[in-house]
């Protein structure tokens, strides 16, 4: 929101009182009498050292001497505004406009008050009186329309300003915000398609259309627009969305990686497109593992993504393919960069450790998680399993006996506990107990079927 900037100019003419009638700062004044002149200068001096109360006293003397002096009322309003006495400031500014309605600075005083007090209806009314003096204040009007949710008026004014002065970053942002709403979505898409046909080299139309398609979950259409953009403006960063896929299909890894990094580092490109880009590169790396370091670097772009836990999802990708070593690497990376206590990621990691026979780190992590989740039976199970595998049978027996009490309505997990308790007793030389636990496990598995 642009605010008025006041440049203080002083014109002192001895003799008769006369205001400078051009649209100049209201302090461009002529002084009538020594007494008026002294009081006015005293007010400026006191305002300059932030003694606003004293400045007001001096200005009231000026008004007493010249009751119809708009400049004095304007200065009075500025001092009241500094003191945050908004009603007095507004009254003073309004009096100035009544005495001289053709000076935009007086109207800007009312605008300042209305904006600071969030009286947006008054702000809109006032800014419309300023626009005849300076049409660029329509940008303020657009902002006010956005604040008050008058989107149709805002859109109309945006188009007027774009046609007359060219596009601006703020207006384009507001326009996209309006057109992203369902109410305007279809009309906005049709409008952008037509604009692209009329001017194939205007990048912003492609970008806005890609964003609209992305927000409406029409990713394929967004990629088609990116493909067209790449053809017409290959130097555009957004064109890399299309070029990246082409480079992968042609096995041009270096170019694909460069395009991918451009996409992921662009804060304006929708996260859905970024996730799709990373997923396509992940599939490529699965077949071309020499590019795994580039995948790890790419994941770093998503460290602060609140929507998708990328490292975990990549870990799951490798997990489902039975590539547990890779899965472990990404689960560990996720726990290091996000939350070390995430329950799901820890359980996935413990399962991957089991598949890779990494029993020492598995047992250590499971025991740590028991302290955090003391009623979560799976962590006791993994701690017991790991202890058995490392022949620490006494520890295994203790932790398994503690954890089995937390198993509820899960026959498979209860059977697994009994198997491990049997292994622990067998390791401790109690063959009878081993058979008891194994038989119980077998019964539980039959019940599950």
Residue 1 has pLDDT above 60, yes or no: no
Confidence class for position 29, pLDDT limits 50, 70, 90 = very low
**Whole-number mean pLDDT of the chain?**
85
Residue 351 has pLDDT above 90, yes or no: yes
φ/ψ of 50, rounded to 5, equals 65, 25
Residue 169 has pLDDT above 70, yes or no: yes
Of the chain, the percentage scoring pLDDT greater than 70 comes to 92
pTM exceeding the 0.85 threshold for the entire prediction: no
**pLDDT: which is higher, 255 or 303:** 255
Q: Distance (Å, rounded) from C-alpha 427 to C-alpha 347?
A: 26
Mean pLDDT value across residues 188-200: 85
Distances, alpha carbon 148 to alpha carbons 121, 126, 181, in Å: 9, 15, 16
pLDDT at res. 290: 92
The answer to the question of residue 343 being in a domain is no
Of 267-271, 275-279, 324-328, the range with the highest mean pLDDT is: 324-328
Torsion of CA 317, 321, 326, 330, to 10 degrees: 20
Q: Distance (Å, rounded) from C-alpha 334 to C-alpha 327?
A: 11
Residue 23 has pLDDT above 60, yes or no: no
Q: Distance (Å, rounded) from C-alpha 437 to C-alpha 416?
A: 10
Residue 390 has pLDDT above 80, yes or no: yes
Residue 349 has pLDDT above 80, yes or no: yes
Distances, alpha carbon 385 to alpha carbons 399, 422, 424, in Å: 10, 11, 9
pLDDT at res. 448: 67
**Of 86, 101, 117, which closes a domain?**
117
Q: How would you class 337 by CB atoms within 10 Å of its CB: exposed for 0-12, middle for 13-18, buried for 19 or more?
A: middle
* Lowest mean pLDDT, pick from 10-14, 374-378, 383-387: 10-14
The answer to the question of residue 383 being in a domain is yes
Contact 8, 27 (CB under 8 A): yes
Residue 417 has pLDDT above 90, yes or no: yes
Mean pLDDT value across residues 405-429: 93
**Of 117, 135, 162, which closes a domain?**
117
pLDDT at res. 113: 94
The answer to the question of residue 162 being in a domain is no
**pLDDT: which is higher, 138 or 1:** 138
The answer to the question of residue 447 being in a domain is yes
pLDDT at res. 449: 57
Mean pLDDT value across residues 32-43: 81
The range of the structural domain enclosing residue 63 comes to: 1-117
**pLDDT: which is higher, 143 or 448:** 143
**Of 82, 117, 152, which closes a domain?**
117
**pLDDT: which is higher, 72 or 32:** 72
- For residue 428 the two structure tokens come to 């401790």
pLDDT at res. 3: 37
The answer to the question of residue 316 being in a domain is no
Q: Distance (Å, rounded) from C-alpha 105 to C-alpha 123?
A: 14
Overall number of domains in the chain: 2
Q: What's the start-to-end Cα distance of the chain, in Å?
A: 69
The answer to the question of residue 310 being in a domain is no
The answer to the question of residue 136 being in a domain is no
pLDDT at res. 231: 87
**pLDDT: which is higher, 25 or 258:** 258
pLDDT in tens, 200-241: 888 888 888 887 887 777 878 888 888 888 889 888 888 887
Q: Distance (Å, rounded) from C-alpha 282 to C-alpha 285?
A: 5
Confidence class for position 6, pLDDT limits 50, 70, 90 = very low
Element containing residue 44 per DSSP (H, E): helix 34-48
pLDDT at res. 270: 78
CATH number at residue 38: 1.25.40.10
- Interhelix angle 377-389/359-372, rounded to 10 degrees, is 150
Confidence class for position 163, pLDDT limits 50, 70, 90 = confident
pLDDT at res. 30: 42
In 3D space, the residue among 372, 366, 369, 447 whose CA is nearest the CA of residue 410 turns out to be: 447
Of the chain, the percentage scoring pLDDT greater than 90 comes to 45
pLDDT at res. 12: 29
Residue tagged 């007493």 (tokens): 64
In 3D space, the residue among 385, 436, 359 whose CA is nearest the CA of residue 377 turns out to be: 385
* Lowest mean pLDDT, pick from 10-14, 19-23, 153-157, 237-241: 10-14
pLDDT at res. 31: 40
The answer to the question of residue 170 being in a domain is no
pLDDT in tens, 54-94: 999 999 999 998 899 999 999 999 999 999 999 999 999 99
pLDDT at res. 395: 95
């Amino acid at each position: 929101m642009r605010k008025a900037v006041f440049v203080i100019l002083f014109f002192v003419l001895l003799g008769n009182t006369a205001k400078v009638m051009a649209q100049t700062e209201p302090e461009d004044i002529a002084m009538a009498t020594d007494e008026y002149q002294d009081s006015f200068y005293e007010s400026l001096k006191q305002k300059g050292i932030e003694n606003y109360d004293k400045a007001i006293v001096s200005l009231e003397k000026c008004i007493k001497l010249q009751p119809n002096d708009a400049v004095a009322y304007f200065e009075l309003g500025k001092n009241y505004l500094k003191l945050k006495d908004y009603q007095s400031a507004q009254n003073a500014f309004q009096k100035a406009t009544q005495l001289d309605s053709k000076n935009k600075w007086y109207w800007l005083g009312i605008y300042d008050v209305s904006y600071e007090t969030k009286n947006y209806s008054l702000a809109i009314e006032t800014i419309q009186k300023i626009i005849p003096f300076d049409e660029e204040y329509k940008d303020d009007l657009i902002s006010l329309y956005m604040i008050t949710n008058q989107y149709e008026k805002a859109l109309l004014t945006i188009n007027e300003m774009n046609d007359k002065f060219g596009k601006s970053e703020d207006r384009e942002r507001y326009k996209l915000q309006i057109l992203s709403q369902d109410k305007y979505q279809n009309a906005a898409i049709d409008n952008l398609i037509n604009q692209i046909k009329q001017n194939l080299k205007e990048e912003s139309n492609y970008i806005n259309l890609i964003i609209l398609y992305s927000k409406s979950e029409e990713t394929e259409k967004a990629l088609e627009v990116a493909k067209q953009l790449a053809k017409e403006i290959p130097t555009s960063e957004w064109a890399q969305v299309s070029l990246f896929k082409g480079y992968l299909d042609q096995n041009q890894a270096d170019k694909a990686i460069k395009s991918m990094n451009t996409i992921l580092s662009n804060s304006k490109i929708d996260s859905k497109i970024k996730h799709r880009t990373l997923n396509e590169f992940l599939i490529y790396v699965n077949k071309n593992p020499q590019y795994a370091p580039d995948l790890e670097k790419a994941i770093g772009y998503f460290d602060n993504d609140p929507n998708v836990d990328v490292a975990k999802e990549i870990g799951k990708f490798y997990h489902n393919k039975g590539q547990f070593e890779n899965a472990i690497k990404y689960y560990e990376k996720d726990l290091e960069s996000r939350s070390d206590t995430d329950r799901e990621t820890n359980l996935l990691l413990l399962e991957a450790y089991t598949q890779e026979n990494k029993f020492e780190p598995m047992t250590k992590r499971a025991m740590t998680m028991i302290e955090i989740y003391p009623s979560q039976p799976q962590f006791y199970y993994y701690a017991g399993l790991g202890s058995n595998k490392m022949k620490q049978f006494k520890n295994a027996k203790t932790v398994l006996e503690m954890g089995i009490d937390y198993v509820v309505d899960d026959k498979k997990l209860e059977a697994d506990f009994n198997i491990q308790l049997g292994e622990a007793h067998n390791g401790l030389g109690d063959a009878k107990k081993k058979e008891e636990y194994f038989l119980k496990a077998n019964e539980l598995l039959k019940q599950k079927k």
